[in-house]
Chains A and B, each alone.
Chain A
């Protein structure tokens, strides 16, 4: 079955360390997205990519970096510059043939800084 796989499901990071969250999709979607969710809050857009080798900052890109070398993969690196990285991170993709109703989300990675 096609879908989006995020790994790991839970991740612990020491302060000052960089960590990379994986997002892989086999839906042949061009657009991919990273969102951050804090407890009791909605989702906030970190970065998005509309095509391979291209990506744009979202509303809260500071302290994060991404790459889009392959259509299937859109990893997110949480750097030491991100002051409050503990959150639930969601990856999504969308087919260009569909409007904003065509989002598919992964099951998320919960990052905790210890």
Chain B
């Protein structure tokens, strides 16, 4: 499984875009990039995932470099409720009931007023 490297912590001003980087230089061709976040003392929540194209949903955008060795999660207008630990996970997109998520330490994002 490809390993990921994320900064330990980041700050962002409320209303500004939060850009969270993730390095995954050993990613293989069939591995996806997933982002989950965990608000304090709650279970993680899915945000977005992608293979090689950039992706956008109602929560965030995911930008994956052309060589796929790094990616950036973008929260376009961060709010105080976006304060959480953000996990970047690289895994195959197992179908059926196979496979499981492997979590690192993530990035602690603090959104400040």
Tell me if A105 and B97 are in contact (CB < 8 A). no
Whether B96 sits at the interface, judged by CB under 8 Å, is: yes
CA distance A24 to B102 in the complex (A): 22
Q: Please, how many angstroms separate the alpha-carbon atoms of A42 and B43 in the complex?
A: 12
Taking CB atoms, residues of chain B closer than 8 Å to A108 are 41-43
* A99 interface residue per 8 A CB criterion: yes
Task: Indicate if B45 sits at the interface (CB-CB under 8 A).
Answer: yes
Q: How far is the CB of A28 from chain B (nearest CB, A)?
A: 12
Residue interface bits A84-97, CB-to-B below 8 A is 1, else 0 = 00001010101010
Q: A43 and B97: CB pair below 8 A?
A: no
Complex contact A103–B44 (CB within 8 A): yes
Specify the chain A residue showing the minimal Cβ separation from B41: A108
With A100-B34, A108-B41, A108-B43: A40-B105 Cβ-Cβ less than 8 Å: yes
A43 pairs with B103, CB closer than 8 A = yes
Report yes or no: B49 in contact with A96, Cβ–Cβ below 8 A.
no
CB distance from B110 to the nearest CB of A (A): 14
B residues near A43, Cβ cutoff 8 Å: 44, 101, 103
> Are B104 and A31 in contact, with the CB atoms below 8 A?
no
What's the nearest-Cβ distance from chain A to residue B49, in Å? Answer: 5
Interface residue A33 (Cβ < 8 Å from any Cβ of B) = yes
Within 8 A of A (CB), among B76-93: 87, 89, 91, 93
Contact between chains at A101 and B87 (CB < 8 Å): no
Q: Output the nearest chain A residue to B48 by Cβ-Cβ distance.
A: A101
A100 lies within 8 A of B94 (CB): yes
Instruction: List the interface of chain A (C-beta within 8 A of B).
Output: 4, 30-31, 33, 35, 40-45, 48, 50-51, 58, 88, 90, 92, 94, 96, 99-103, 105-108, 110
What are the 4 A-B residue pairs with the smallest beta carbon separation, nearest first?
Answer: A105-B43, A99-B93, A50-B97, A42-B103
Q: What are 8 contact pairs spanning A and B, CB under 8 A? A: A33-B100, A41-B105, A42-B104, A48-B100, A88-B41, A94-B97, A102-B46, A105-B42
Other A-B pairs beyond A42-B103, A100-B49, 7, CB < 8 Å: A40-B105, A50-B97, A92-B43, A99-B32, A100-B101, A101-B49, A102-B46
